[in-house]
Each structure stands twice: as C-alpha cells, then as structure tokens.
Structure 1
Amino acid sequence: MNIIASSDSAYFPSAPSLSSQTTTAVQSRAVGPDVLRSLAILLVMLVHLPVEATPTLLVDVRKYAWLGVDIFFVLSGFLIGTQLFKELSRTNGVDLKSFYLRRVFRIFPAFFAVLGLYAIFPILRDAPTMQPIWSFATFTVNFNFDPRVGRAFSQAWSLCVEEHFYLVLPLLILLIHRWISVSWTLAIAGAIVIGGMTLRYTLWESQVGTLVDAGKLRDAFAVYLRDVYYPTYTRLDGLMFGVMLAAARFFKPKLCQRYTPPRVAIPVGIAFIVAALALFSIRGPLAGTNLFLVFQAQLGSVVGFPLISIGIALILGAMLDLEHVLRRWPVPGTVMVATLSYSLYLTHKSVFHIDRLVLGEENLQGSFGFMVYLVTSFAVATVLWLCVERTFLLLRDRVLSPGK
C-alpha cells in the first residue's frame, strides 16, 4: 500500500492549462487523493474484520471492501507517475538514486519494524501460521503465497506489488521516454490489459477450474488467491491506469478537459465499477455454495480488475478537477486517516488479534467490537507513525535536501 505510502503528498496541476512543456507544478496536499486514500484504508480494515465484529449496516459493504486495494493501486500509479513525469519534463531525466532512496526511507522503516515484531513475538501474529520471514524481507511473499500454509501479515502482498512497481517504472520511463508517443502509450497499455486478462483466464482454467470441477472448493479459493489474486504480474491494471491518468493529465490536459470533465468522468467511472462488481457477483458453477459468497469467479477475475481500475482512475481525475470545490467542504478526519494509512495498513490485523486475546472474542461482537477495533488500530498506528514513520521522513528530508 504504498499502496498506502505511494507518495508523501498529492501532486496535481495548479491550473488546467498545464501542458507537456510544464517544468514546474504545484506540490500540495490535494483533497481528492486524501479522500480516496482514507476510503481505501478503511475498506481494507473492514475486509479483514470478522463478520461477527462488523456492524449490520456494514456487512454487505464488507463483501466488496477488497476494492480498497485497487483504489490504492490506482493512487500509487497516478502519484508516482506524476512525480516522475514532473521530473522528466524539468530535467529530461530521472534521478534514480534520489527516487529509490526516497522510497526506502518512506517504506522500509515502518515495514521492517512491524516485520521484526512479527518475527520476534509470535503472539502478535494474526494467524497461527506465517510465510517465511525472508519472503517478506525480500518483498517476494506475494509469489506462491498459499494461505493454507501461512496467513499472518497477509496484507503485505499488496506492498510487494507496489515495491516491484517502484523498482521498474522509473527504469521503464528512462528507457522509452525519448521515442514514446500517444499511439505507443495506448498500445503498451492495451497489451498490459489484454495480457493480464489472458493470464488470469489461463491460470483460472489450469489451476482453479480443475479444483472447482472436482468439488474441492476450499482448495480452489486458496489456489485462486495464490495464482490469480496475489502475484504482481496479474495485478498491474490499477497501477497502469494510474500512470495513464498521470500521463494524460500532465502531457495532454486539454484532451482530459474535453473528453473527461467531471460531469462525464464521475457517472462513467461509477458505471464501470458497478459493472465490475456485478461481474464479480456472477459465480457461475460456484453459485449456491455458502463458502463462496464472496468468491471472485472467473468472469470477474478476468475482466473485473481493469474495469474497476478504469472507474477509479476516472473518479480520481474528476476529484482533481473538483479540487476547488472539495476544499470548501473538507471531510473531517480525512487528512488524519490519510496520514496514518500506511501505519494502519501494517498493523490493523495484528491489533484486532491482540484485542481478541485481551478482551475475549465473545466480547467483541457487533458495534462494540467495531469501535474497539477502530480505537485500538488508530492508537497503535499513531504510535508507529510518530516513532518510526515521521522520524525517518524527517531524516530523509535532512539527508536528501541538506540545507533546506
């Protein structure tokens, strides 16, 4: 996440007239990305909350709260893409050392602090079994991540996807920026989308479908997560559409104004997301099996992810265009939640596990359990942010921007 730590602040054009010749941009805390980031982390926290501790009004929302990860992916693609395009237009290059060091200072300290606690104190683990520590430390845990073998700290899979994205995107931009064109950009994006759909279909047919046909539904769901849902090469849609949004807004702002104004982007974006969620609800041969009420079946898995990503990208673009409106009516607590989102992401599963150990699972039902979950999660996240995140961000600024 990160997904969650994709950027230290939101970059957005200061005026619609920005073009590819722009060499400066206003760096500011944009309301739109903060609202989406806050929504994303709250959804991620909800999807990991047991049904018994979920308020009745949120039970149906919980079924689709996995959408929070896709929001994070689009945000990461947009924010990191904009950061790189801004530097490219200003210097005709990318300072790889500075970029990677900033990512290291942003991601590693809090992550390895939490991973260390998981390794040293098994009581903190939110599940009895855990993947090998080395796979977390090398950000490769999302490859061959079988939940039947170990589920503790499972949310780290999405951070691995982000780390691979951070590693590759600057290099890719440096390699192709001199000759890339609109047509080539669209061709690459199309290839990524079609390739991802083909790969997910093939993996479903060869790995998941055979288990479904054999009636081994629990194994089928675990294999679906392992082979279709977690790997980086199957989850590029959100990141890619985020980068596409960044490129379109930075290099072709007039086209964005003409074809995707908020009055168009918002309803179309919502329509894409609703269509995707409808596809995820079509369970085909899995219909009627209680175990798979939230199972993402083949049709949704193949085409649902790109549809969701397009929808989120359109809504994000519209929110950036409506920044002046959003600033007049800020959502209370948004900045706080967005600021703590990475620490919340890293700790929320372990926190509720400790809540259950201390208070008893039977005492954490319904709305009371939900409130305990929120209060303790935010308390722990605040401590992690103050003691680790903020400390290393200040150190990063001192190391990379001396004298400022």
Structure 2
Amino acid sequence: MLERLRAAPQTNETGLLYISSLDGLRLLAFLAVFIHHLPVSMAFLGMEAFQRRGWVGVELFFVISAFLFFHLFEAEVRKAGFIDVKRFYLRRFLRIYPLMVAFPAAMIIWTGAYTKDAIFRLVGLMAGADNLVTAFDGYSPIPFSPQLWTLSFEFQIYLVIPFAFLAYQKYGTRRFLIGAAIVWGLCTLLRIAAVLSGVGYLPAWVLPFLRPDSVLLGMLLSIFVKHIPPLYALAAGLGAASGFFALPLMEQSATSQILVFPAAAIMCGALVALAHSWRPLGRVLSLRWATFAGTISFGLYVFHVFGIYLAGNLLERFGVDPSTASAAACVALTAVAFAATFAMAAASYMGFERPFLKLKDRFAAVHGRPAV
C-alpha cells in the first residue's frame, strides 16, 4: 500500500493549482545557465562573477521541481485521498523522456558522431544514469548534450520523492523535518569524504546522494512557505548569496565543494519563497511572456548549447568573430543564440512535446498548469 495514502477526500478541489510566478522563475533559472555556457565574457557588464557561477540555475530548477511535486501531491491527496505513484512516474516519463532521448540521438545522426563513447552515453541517458557515468568519465561526448546529465539526476530524484511525501504524510511534519535533517547530514558527510578523498569536484556536482540540498529544501519549502514572511526570505537569500559569491569557484576549492551547495540551495529557496509570497515579484514573474518562456524552459535548457553553436556560425558568416572580447560581439552572440534557442524550444513544445503532454494530462489527478 505504499502507492496509496488514504485521507479524507475533499470534493471542492478545483484541480487547477498553477503558480504562474514559478514559470517566470524557471526562465530566470534558464537564463543563469545560458549565460554560464556562453563562450564570451560578460565582464563588460560587470557580470563575470555571476557568469562563472551561473550553474546555480540548475539548483533553482531542482528547488522549483521539488517544491511543485510536494505541492501537487498535497492537492492530489486532498482530491483523491491518495497519491498514485505509478501514474506520477508515467507523467514524468511522458514529460521528460521523449525530448531527452530524441535530441541527443538527433545530434549523433546530424553530426555523424557514431562513436562507441557517444552510443554508450546515449544508452546511459536512456537508462537515466548519465550523471553516474559523468561523475567518473566526464561530460557526455554527444555533440551539444553535455548538460543533459541533470535530467538523469532528476529521474533519480523522481524515484524517491513520492515516498518522501508519503513519509511526510505518515509521520507528520516534526518527524519528517528530523528525517530530512538526518538525510542532509549523512549526505553532507559523504560529500566531505568524497571531496577529501581527492576524486575531484564532478562526483559532488552530479550525484544526488552527495548533494541533495536543493531537493530537500524544495520539499520543506512546500510545507512551510506560507509561514515564511517575505522579509525573512529576502534576508536569508541575501545572506546566502553573499556567501555563495564569496566562495572560490567549485572546481578550484575543496572548501567550495563542501559549502557551496547549501548556500546555493538557500539562495534559490529564498527566490522560490519570494516568487510565491511577495506580490510585486510574483506579478513581474507572472507576465505572459515570462510564463510562456518558463513553460518551454525544458526545451530551452535542452537546446541552448546547440543554439549557441548555431549563433556563432551565423555571426561568422556575417563577418562577426564571436571569440573577440568586444562588447558588440558578446551582445550579438547572446541575442542571436537566445533567439535561436527560443525558436527551437517553442517549435519543439508546439510540434513535438505537445502530444506527449496531452497524454500526460490524461493521467493527472490535479493539474499544475493550464491544459496544453
């Protein structure tokens, strides 16, 4: 009976639980990663420190996902009296898997990269294990796909998070909080041991059992967000941000590999809390163009490395060398790369992903966004 947790169903559940500001926040998460991967420096805008740490957008994605899963599980229990774990897995498969596999497969075919390593990594992606290979063998050699290890990370979180919610429902808030603290402590000790053993920063970066900080905080935020005043969230976020940016780069410092993940998690968690509860920020993040970009943020993330490549090639044809350090080259590459990425993501969402999303919605007890 682990799949179902009975509760008194409520008949007034509307089934629509869309939080538009979190879609806008997804756009910010993508933009951080996008800027991080640009092959030109943003120093002329004073953004060099942010660019080098733009990977924090991945942490923001993780916090948002964990927050929303608990949010929707709670609504499913209110409506149906239980959560259906099998249907949860099916929904996540239909949302992530088709594009996650189709894009790198297309890149192998398009570039002719039929190497053993590329095929092996494609199989790893299909098995939801690419991050495990990345930890010890480096980023994927599949063209324009090294960032997709995060999707394997997410699939591994999907295996755990429904049962974390069931534990929360069964044992109550206090015991769940104690359990989350114990899990965080044990995982942090494992991360410290891994870092001190000299294995390098990649295992601590790509393995969820070494750095569950953002996922755990997202779950806890879903429980406590209504009780966090915006001023407290802002103070916590600014404090965490000051620590995050003061730390050396993760790949350069063992200390950073140990401390950077809780700092990033708190900073991103504060953003989620503010987007949820602080109306001025929520209104900005809920603007139509921002929410649409957030809606297609999965495609933006998948396509952006390819979009940067296409933009660089296009600019070279017009006599602009993106490798120069000029502000004009940086602005041109950023604008063209974003436009190309946005166009591909929108086309993918409308033409490729939408049939799977419609099928996914047929297995949903409650809906976290308007119907596609």
User: Which residue in the other structure is 1:337 paired with?
Assistant: 293
- 1:132 is paired with a residue whose SS is helix
Instruction: Show the 5 A alignment for 1:270-281.
Output: 270-278=238-246, 280-281=247-248
Change (3 A) 1:262 1:73: same
Contact persistence 1:79–1:246 (CA under 8 A): yes
Partner Cα separation in structure 2 for residue 161 and residue 396 of structure 1: 21
Partner Cα separation in structure 2 for residue 199 and residue 373 of structure 1: 39
Consecutive unaligned residues of structure 2, counting only runs of 5 or more, are: 1-6, 323-328, 366-370
User: Which residue in the other structure is 1:232 paired with?
Assistant: 208
Query: Alignment partner for residue 224 of structure 2, among 248, 251, 259?
Result: 248
Contact persistence 1:200–1:302 (CA under 8 A): yes
Pair 1:267 & 2:246 matched = no
**TM-score, reference length from structure 2:** 0.82
Partner Cα separation in structure 1 for residue 153 and residue 98 of structure 2: 18
Query: Alignment partner for residue 73 of structure 1, among 62, 67, 72?
Result: 62
Contact persistence 1:245–1:313 (CA under 8 A): yes
User: Which residue in the other structure is 1:56 paired with?
Assistant: 44
Larger CA deviation: 324-333 vs 297-306 = 324-333
Contact persistence 1:106–1:392 (CA under 8 A): yes
Instruction: Show the 5 A alignment for 1:197-236.
Output: 197-208=188-199, 223-225=200-202, 227-236=203-212
Instruction: Show the 5 A alignment for 1:315-330.
Output: 315-323=271-279, 326-327=282-283, 330=286
Contact persistence 1:142–1:161 (CA under 8 A): yes
Shift of 1:328: 7.3
Partner Cα separation in structure 2 for residue 338 and residue 135 of structure 1: 27
User: Which residue in the other structure is 1:220 paired with?
Assistant: none
Query: Alignment partner for residue 136 of structure 1, among 110, 117, 125?
Result: 125
Contact persistence 1:131–1:141 (CA under 8 A): no
Change (3 A) 1:376 1:180: same
Contact persistence 2:299–2:349 (CA under 8 A): yes
Partner Cα separation in structure 2 for residue 154 and residue 329 of structure 1: 29
Change (3 A) 1:41 1:184: same
User: Which residue in the other structure is 2:182 paired with?
Assistant: 191
Shift of 1:62: 0.5
Letter in 1 for 2:360: R
Shift of 1:191: 1.5
Shift of 1:95: 1.1
Letter in 2 for 1:272: A
Larger CA deviation: 349-358 vs 235-244 = 349-358
User: Which residue in the other structure is 2:310 paired with?
Assistant: 354
Larger CA deviation: 263-272 vs 339-348 = 263-272
User: Which residue in the other structure is 1:363 paired with?
Assistant: 321
Change (3 A) 1:344 1:124: farther
Consecutive unaligned residues of structure 1, counting only runs of 5 or more, are: 1-19, 209-222, 282-292
Partner Cα separation in structure 2 for residue 186 and residue 171 of structure 1: 15
Change (3 A) 1:25 1:201: farther
User: Which residue in the other structure is 1:164 paired with?
Assistant: 156
Shift of 1:130: 7.8
Superposed CA deviations along residues 245-298 of structure 1, whole A, max 9, x for unmatched, are 11224xxx4xx1xxx2112221222212321332x32xxxxxxxxxxx663522
Pair 1:110 & 2:68 matched = no
Partner Cα separation in structure 2 for residue 374 and residue 148 of structure 1: 23
Contact persistence 1:193–1:237 (CA under 8 A): yes
Change (3 A) 1:379 1:200: same
- 1:159 is paired with a residue whose SS is helix
Contact persistence 1:63–1:294 (CA under 8 A): no
Change (3 A) 1:179 1:331: closer
Partner Cα separation in structure 2 for residue 26 and residue 84 of structure 1: 12
Shift of 1:343: 0.4
User: Which residue in the other structure is 2:251 paired with?
Assistant: 295
Percent identical among aligned pairs is 25
**TM-score, reference length from structure 1:** 0.76
Contact persistence 1:55–1:370 (CA under 8 A): no
Contact persistence 1:269–1:310 (CA under 8 A): yes
User: Which residue in the other structure is 1:379 paired with?
Assistant: 343
Superposed CA deviations along residues 338-382 of structure 1, whole A, max 9, x for unmatched, are 012100111111222233345439633321111111111111111
Shift of 1:124: 8.7
Shift of 1:181: 2.6
Query: Alignment partner for residue 171 of structure 2, among 145, 159, 180?
Result: 180
- 1:380 is paired with a residue whose SS is helix
Superposed CA deviations along residues 312-342 of structure 1, whole A, max 9, x for unmatched, are 2233223212247733785563112201210
Number of aligned residue pairs = 344
Superposed CA deviations along residues 171-190 of structure 1, whole A, max 9, x for unmatched, are 3433x355413332122111
Letter in 2 for 1:88: V
- 1:241 is paired with a residue whose SS is helix
Contact persistence 2:27–2:297 (CA under 8 A): yes
Partner Cα separation in structure 2 for residue 368 and residue 329 of structure 1: 26
Pair 1:150 & 2:141 matched = yes
